[in-house]
Amino acid sequence: MDNDVNIRMEQKRVNDVIQEINIKEKKLNSKAGGLKESIIGLRKNFWEDVTVNLEELDDVIETQASIKQQAELLSERERSHGEIDKQLKTLERLKDSPYFGRVDFKDETDEEFEQLYIGIASLMDQNEENFLIYDWRAPISSLYYDFSPGPAHFHTVQDTIHGEISLKRQYIIRQGKIKGMFDTGVTIGDALLQAALGHNASTSMKSIVATIQKEQNKIIRNERSNMLIVQGVAGSGKTSAVLQRIAYLLYRFRGNLTSDNLLLFSPNPLFSSYISNVLPELGETNIKQTTFIDFLREGIEKNISVESPFEQMEFTLTCKNPTVFETRKQNIRLKSSLYFKDLVDKYVSTLQTQGIQFRNITFRDAILISKEQISDYFYELEENVSLPNRMEIVSKWLLKELRLIQNREKDKDWVMEQVELLDKESYLQAYYENQRIDEDDFGLEEDILRNEVVKKQFANVRSQVRKFAFVNVLETYFKLFTDWNVSPLPENWDAIRTFTKENLLNRFLTWEDATAYRYFRGKLLGDQKSRSVRHLFIDEAQDYTAFQYAFIKEIFPYTRMTLLGDINQAIYTYGSSLNPLIPEFVGENHERIVLTKSYRSTKEIVNFTKRFAPGGELIEPFDRHGEPPEIITLEEESSLVDVLTETIHNLQDKKHETIAIICKTFHESNEIFKLLKSKVAVKQINEETYSFEKGILVLPVYLAKGIEFDAVIVPNASNNHYHQESDRTLFYTACTRAMHSLTIVTTHTPCKFLQEATS
């Protein structure tokens, strides 16, 4: 059939589908309007429609039932209105681009091929009998992603359907008009991918449902593995695939799984902002995202400061004192390891019989219950009772003792002094309480007021006891490095002990100590095992240490996990390099998927960067061409500002909207920012940056992880800057952020990685 005729027929179908969408929108808007009026009416007349009578017990029960019934009715109407609003937003998205793919499929029992159109959401005809569009997550839609024309099959919940594909077609539809249409024999045609990848970088990650590749589809639809590990080279779409995986799981297990049951550990707040639009774009609610450091801080006392992983990296990259650097390096290696976890466990086992440090319980500068009394009571309890359970028993005992002390304290002079400072409302309440109990007992009112004062004054003490504040966790952890005889002694133990003691005395935890301390605290006081999180997703998984993985497994023992990362971008060299994904952590029921094709950068950039890729992995470029990377060698370092300014202007002339100057450290990015801020409109990114904006950005490489830019400038690739082998991952990560243009500035002697790329 003539291609023009084909396009006219396909455009007619698009028009017909949009007409159906308009009809559905009209009906839903009408229904929404009625519900809105009903909700407003219910809210306005809520108390008029409720029978309120509080004189008798039966009347009170009837009143409560009436309020509950009215509240449930209002809640049900609001839920319905919310669901309609969600459907309307989906229809609005479909109206712009109803679908992106078509598969003509005939199963073994059929005589004719059925045309299946694939889009971001399902749409049925007016009679709700036939699918006009299939949701990309529906089982039948996997035909589009997994097969070329010829024999094909898809899995349903109960069965596997076999058949044949006669046609696979892809569309680019914008504002209801077909802009491009391709018949293809591969999973996703190059033309569609070229169109998707050739655009400028966005300030937020976009959905990739129209261009999902076969290997990415395996990640998205994996249901059987308790642990799914994705090793993907830079730009392979692993993060995008995992976000589509989240949308797929919410669709596949709707009714049993909600966004509250899923959690994502992202590398930094900027990245969290960058990916925040993907799920709403697919009609799903965003899941909870947090960084691992924020997750740790939730379980660490507020008056203890915690170093961030970025501060740790900045220290290791900028420290000039060889002795201090060596001690810190060994401290990181030890406390990132499973060996140190075993040391902590052994130390905790000794605390069953002695050693836990307690605090006095004080009130008005007086000791009510001494730490010695608490210790004696704790260690008189049965040894076979776990430490957290014993803490619970001690807490209950202390609360009981406090009630007795509170009763004795009530009659003291200071209480009456406080009573006299109470407001009129407190006196009125005491008067009415006195009248209710015994109007002839004139001393009762004062007794009520005294009780009220003491209760309020003791409230904070009781609250602290419930939080186990009577346990000095930091001091107990401190004893691990002072009084406990470690055997066998770790390498350089004396220097590590001295370094750790100084930090703990200042109530400061290094990044490598943060997980160990949080783990120790949980062993002492109890750490809530998470049963609500059924799927955990960890991005940049290669940057987590063995100890961190062991801790995660401890907190999420019943949770399925998806880990995605790239060993070529393991930038936390001294910690994560020990054992990024240890066998003890991944367990038996795990699956590894390797993504080797890079889609982000042009073929020229990928071929350039793969020459110094740290792991020597096979990296395949996608066939999208552009300019080769530009290397600028400075005659004089003083000319750097002029070179950077000229390069930025040239890139802007080429319509690059997002230009990143990616530095090795924050210190370097700060210097570059100061040099450029009077020349161009540059924005500085730090670890507190929560939103990603277009423009000229300067940032350290560790904050650029997972993000892509139109153009990247590496401002100093000289040998005196990237000189250690451990810098390879940093340099590789910086260069692979570029989509269309990569410029590298160096002095007379370029770093060895640059030499490898150009030799």
**Residue ranges at the known binding site:** 232-239
Token pair 């070229």 in the structure block, residue: 194
For residue 269, give Cα distances in angstroms to 395, 535, 668, 707.
Answer: 37, 21, 21, 12
Place of tokens 């018949």: 183
| 8 Å CB contact between 480 and 347 | yes
Identify the residue whose tokens are 């952890």.
Answer: 477
How far is the C-alpha of 334 from the C-alpha of 431, rounded, in Å? Answer: 65
Asked if 702 and 687 count as a contact pair (C-beta separation under 8 A), the reply is no
**Token pair 């005809």 in the structure block, residue:** 125
Cβ-contact 692, 236 below 8 angstroms: no
Dihedral sign, CA of 268, 746, 597, 144?
Answer: positive
H or E, element range at 197: helix 190-197
Indicate the DSSP class of residue 451: H
Cβ atoms 438, 424 nearer than 8 A: no
CA atoms within 13 A on the CB side of 536: 23
Report the C-alpha gap between 83 and 87 in whole angstroms: 6
Strands 630-633 and 695-700: unpaired
224 is written with which tokens?
């059987």
Binding residues for ATP: 232-239
Q: Give the residue among 242, 238, 244 at the shortest CA–CA distance from 281.
A: 244
Q: Which amino acid is at 430?
A: A
d(Cα 207, Cα 281) in Å, to the nearest integer?
Answer: 7
Phi-psi region of 128 (alpha: psi -120 to 50; beta: other; left: phi over 0): left
Closest CA to 286 of 247, 257, 245: 247
How many Å apart are CA 397 and CA 373, to the nearest integer? 12
- For the chain, the C-alpha Rg in angstroms (whole number) is 32
Strand partners, 598: 621
Q: With contact defined as beta carbons under 8 Å apart, do 652 and 659 qualify?
A: yes
Query: 290 to each of 258, 294, 545, 702, 705, how far by Cα in Å?
Result: 17, 6, 18, 17, 16
H/E element holding 560?
Answer: strand 560-565
| DSSP type of residue 638 | G
